[in-house]
Structure 1
Amino acid sequence: MTGAINDTTDRTSYDVIVIGGGAGGLNAALVLSRARRSVAVIDAGEPRNAPSAHMHSFLSRDGVPPLTVLETGRAEISRYGAVLINGQVDQVDAREVGGYLVRLVGGATLEARHVVLAAGLRDELPDIPGLRAQWGKDVIFCPYCHGYELRDQPLVVLGVHPASAGQALLLRQWSHDVVYVPHTQPLSDEERERLDARGVKVAEGPVSCLLTKDERLHAVELADGRTLECAAVFVFPRMTPNDAPFDGLGCEKDDAGWLVTDRAGRTTRPGLWAVGNVVDPRAQAVTAAGMGAAAAFALNHDLVDEEVEQALAAYRSVSPASGG
């Protein structure tokens, strides 16, 4: 991890611990530290978008390298006293007296009244020779992140997911030269008709490998030896949330296995929050940042409510009974 890191503090107890230092986690930490809450952000420095050269569709940050955005965010939250800890969280456990224990890989344990999970997701890629090496460069997923830069160039979409055909239909918005390769996702008659109507070509047969020249993708090779020259390959990965730290705490998940939250990011377990790609695979960085801010606002209000109730109980315990 690069940027401002303050992991030398001896403090072990915080109002809020944020797990994950991407846009969602950092924005939550920014709002909370400006609200004068004690905040620690735990991050291993392995952002999902690290292979990408530029971030797009983020107002005022369009075209900026993702790591530059994160470095700026780390410096900003440090100015307000948030602590940045370079590490990984193994597990979060409930304390008997309230709040949570956050256990780090390596043995350290921290305490928090509330925990925000912003650890993102993992992209599980198909096992095609040459694909992983180009992931985030010439092998990509999001048309909204990369489509404009690839406008009017030849593009290939690999059929590896039930949504792959829809991805090809969407990409036709940016380029007139889009080829869909069914690979492991054969087309139904209706899907084929929709692709034909939209002007998306179909190249039958599985993919054998991706071909590169001077470390840049230049073609997709099919099993029968045909090659499809292209500027980029779009792949719909299998996405898995990094929510293992909350395992065993009883947080509800939906039928697809993603944590259930309300609009503010509250999970079904009081004091546990989740924002960004760990709960929404569609969230871009700007969306995750907004989710982090929304959670921070609501979380701080919850902490204020808790503190008022505690203060009220203490006040009533020493205040003389009102006379009649």
Structure 2
Amino acid sequence: MSEETHHDVIIIGAGAAGLSAGLVLTRARADVLLIDAGQPRNAPAEHMHGFVSRDGMPPQDFLASGRAEVTSYGGRFVQASVLTVARSADAIFRVALEDGAVETSRALLVATGLVDELPDIAGLAERWGWLVHHCPYCHGHEVRKQKIAVIGGPQREMSLKQAGLLRRYSHRVTFITNGIELSPAELHRLTAFGVSVVEGAVSQLLGAPGALDAVELSDGSAVESDATFIAPHQVPRDALLKALGCQTDPDTDLVVADGFGQTSVPGVWAAGNVVTPTAQVVTAAGAGSATAIAINGWLLQQDLDAASAARPQ
């Protein structure tokens, strides 16, 4: 039988939200374990943007800096995948890892992020994160004045918004419908704003390895492009939360968490992209901080209750 190690809080996922929460909680003198599988969403990106004082920082440098800070206050890290999480009758969380180890805690924060499911377009995946992007706020400034192609993606409304937002950075923006049918009003709004619209399905991205020249359509025509944007299907890594019975939104299927990250299951919190797919690095970090403060307050109430019960009036 595996030896169990008990903690105040276990944080699953050590990205921006998990690290920020870990920093707040370790500084508050909580016993914190962070478990991370080593698969950050923004790993392909060369730089992250929009985070004041960290703008332009490589994602891996950001993670390394955050780990060092949390470790300096006594936080412990384990790189592993979590197999199962269960809540016992006495409200203790039991986290089983892939290597057979078992960790337990009073509180649980899930900050496992999401996965971008890319369309099956030849040449797209290998350029993802540095020549193909999804967020104009994260990468628009870096491609200003360039030839930008926006490929219609699974998220229809976001695809149209991308085309409009990127027009602010360049007068050479082309929206390739790729299966999205535009209404006459939508077509007029985009073209009136200066966005070129090309109807057709995308077959592949063209260019030598490490470069991008154009986006080819199924009819053989091509749209010249220095940078490409697409809105992929985003899948939260929320299986652990759902296995614990956390309530989900009937319309979005996202796990429901309040403004402080509290889910419907007592002792379970969630922060970052796992519950807010639109969160950027800076907003995920902020959510992690707010959630950590809520968790610490919840732990305090448990400690006060236990102390009062141990010393009756």
* Cross-structure match for 2:120: 127
Paired residues, what number? Answer: 308
| Offset, 1:232 | 0.8
| Offset, 1:75 | 0.7
Q: 1:247 is paired with a residue of what secondary structure? A: helix
Q: Deviations over 1:89-122 (max 9, x none)?
A: 1221111211211121232221010000000001
- 1:107 maps to which of 91, 100, 105: 100
CA distance in 1, matches of 2:77, 2:203: 44
Q: Which runs of 5+ in 2 are unaligned?
A: none
Q: CA RMSD in A?
A: 1.1
Matched, 1:37 2:30: yes
* Cross-structure match for 1:95: 88
* Cross-structure match for 1:268: 264
- 1:38 corresponds to which letter in structure 2? D
| Offset, 1:147 | 0.4
* Cross-structure match for 1:180: 175
**Maintained 8 Å contact 1:261/1:267:** yes
CA distance in 2, matches of 1:106, 1:286: 32
CA distance in 2, matches of 1:78, 1:106: 22
Q: 2:156 is paired with a residue of what secondary structure? A: coil
- 2:75 maps to which of 65, 70, 82: 82
* Cross-structure match for 1:5: none
**Maintained 8 Å contact 1:159/1:186:** no
Matched, 1:212 2:210: no
| Offset, 1:242 | 0.3
**Maintained 8 Å contact 1:91/1:246:** no
| Offset, 1:213 | 2.0
* Cross-structure match for 1:162: 156
CA distance in 1, matches of 2:49, 2:187: 31
Q: 1:153 is paired with a residue of what secondary structure? A: coil
Percent sequence identity over aligned pairs? 48
Change (3 A) 1:31 1:11: farther
Q: 2:207 is paired with a residue of what secondary structure? A: strand
* Cross-structure match for 1:279: 275
Runs of 4+ aligned residues of structure 1 deviating over 4 Å after TM superposition are: none
Matched, 1:224 2:219: yes
**Maintained 8 Å contact 1:91/1:244:** no
Q: 1:67 is paired with a residue of what secondary structure? A: helix
Q: Deviations over 1:156-190 (max 9, x none)?
A: 01112312122111111111111001112121212
CA distance in 1, matches of 2:275, 2:267: 16
Q: 1:304 is paired with a residue of what secondary structure? A: helix
* Cross-structure match for 1:6: none
- 1:72 corresponds to which letter in structure 2? S
- 1:120 corresponds to which letter in structure 2? G
**Maintained 8 Å contact 1:91/1:247:** no
Q: TM-score, normalised by structure 1?
A: 0.93
- 1:299 corresponds to which letter in structure 2? I
- 1:292 corresponds to which letter in structure 2? G
Q: TM-score, normalised by structure 2?
A: 0.96
Q: 1:17 is paired with a residue of what secondary structure? A: strand
CA distance in 2, matches of 1:141, 1:273: 27
**Maintained 8 Å contact 1:158/1:182:** yes
Matched, 1:117 2:113: no
* Cross-structure match for 1:192: 187
- 2:268 corresponds to which letter in structure 1? L
| Offset, 1:247 | 2.5
**Maintained 8 Å contact 2:4/2:104:** no
| Offset, 1:294 | 0.2
| Offset, 1:197 | 1.4
CA distance in 2, matches of 1:311, 1:296: 22
* Cross-structure match for 2:11: 18
| Offset, 1:56 | 0.5
* Cross-structure match for 2:304: 308
Matched, 1:146 2:139: yes
- 2:299 corresponds to which letter in structure 1? L
CA distance in 2, matches of 1:249, 1:204: 45
Which entry has the higher C-alpha Rg, 1 or 2?
1
